[in-house]
Amino acid sequence: MSAIALFGIIWFLVLFIVLPIRLETQAETGEVEPGTPASAPSDAKIVQKFKIVTVVAVALWCVAAAVLISGLLTLESIDFFQEWRESY
């Protein structure tokens, strides 16, 4: 379950990074649909962006999983307050 949660977090973080890339607003194209703001995307190309996000997220997830499984990064290695807790 942790691996699935980690993948979901990575996927959404990458999505929020990729969404504004090459975004053309309706105001920039000059075709504003009535009832929508001029800053709305004219063509979001969402399927293409989802494919890119998935490929990048899988690659990042593989790196993160490899680091965690190998033991290079453990809870003890990132416990910055260990000395502080031991002194009290």
Cα dihedral 65/69/70/72 (nearest 10): 80
Q: CA neighbours within 13 Å on the CB side: how many for 47?
A: 0
Q: How far apart are CA 41 and CA 29, in angstroms?
A: 9
Q: How many domains in the chain?
A: 1
> In which domain, by residue range, is 75 found?
1-87
SS3 40: coil
Determine if the pTM surpasses 0.75: yes
Residuewise pLDDT in 10s, the chain (88 residues): 999 999 999 999 999 999 999 999 999 999 999 999 999 999 889 999 999 999 999 999 999 999 989 988 887 777 777 777 776 6
Q: Which residues pair with 25 in a beta bridge?
A: 41
